[in-house]
Structure 1
Amino acid sequence: MLNNLRTTATAIAATLSLAVALPAPAHAWGEREQNALVALLAAGAIGTLIVQNNKRHRAAPVTRSTVPTYTGPNYGTSRYGTPSYDTPRYQPPAAQPIPQGVSTTPAGRAFNTYSLSERRNIQSRLARAGYYNGAIDGAFGPMTYNAVMAISRDSTGADKLSTLGGAFDFYDAILRA
């Protein structure tokens, strides 16, 4: 405390001595020089007050007990299990069951009684309707059977192809269209 009082008194005495001693010969100076001297004295006095104020409000020294310590995050244990992957299994597309020997069905027997050009014409018309995408060869195989059953189901009903007469009526209608 005594040391702070002594420093403050010394600063005030120095400022007053400059304020009293310097302006004496300054009356011969111009107004600009006198204003500069006043500004210098004011800056010295303000600087002294700032230094003294900083000394008074200096923060207390930091001790080890007040230093915050870092603790890392606590992630805990994982809530998730080990990932597993099931290998996908091939699932064949669901198709209409094709009876063994499709050419022995009433639809196949009726189809095979037509001439080769008529059978190709039937396959061409099934392809144009979007039901057949095989070769236009005039053979009654699984693709032709599926196409005939699909178009029959969509138009007249598949039960018409269960008899030989119904199959002939069906193919005749396709050839006339």
Structure 2
Amino acid sequence: MLPAVSNIKRNTVAVLTALAIALPAVPAMAWGQREQDVLKGAAGVILLQGIIRETKPGSNDYRKRHDNRYDQRYEPRYEQPRYKHYQPRYEQPRVSVYNTAAARAFNAYSTSERRLIQRRLSAYGYYRGGIDGSFGPGTYNAVVAYADAQGQTRQLGSTSSAYGVYDGLIY
């Protein structure tokens, strides 16, 4: 950040005063290009020192200009909380796929029949897991998709009617 205009004016007056004092002491004939460049460099250094001194964070002028005043924009304000309209809805408790009627009916078959069911579901494109004869989420999803495609989704609601879905795959 550049210093204020009054500081620049004050520094310029100080430099010009120093030059006015130094000029009469130098003979008029001794002013070559080198002497003029040296004088320009000295004036530049003096000017830069003044600018640095004025903008240093520890100086009093800097503190006066950058006073940490209380700013109302950052004042904490209390806002009334906005509540959404809460409508309680009933959700059926989640049941594990291992406790469903489809799982109980599947596990009632022998291991060879369970593998046959999985093979048939895989052949129809519903099952992508390993043919291991165990009931899990993959088998459950495949059975539900197959029953839905056959229009038998409601039959998976009870163990006795789930046998009919599996018997359709076996026989």
- TMscore range, shorter length: 0.3 to 0.5
Scaled by the length of structure 2, the TM-score of the pair is 0.44
Query: Max radius of gyration: which structure?
Result: 1
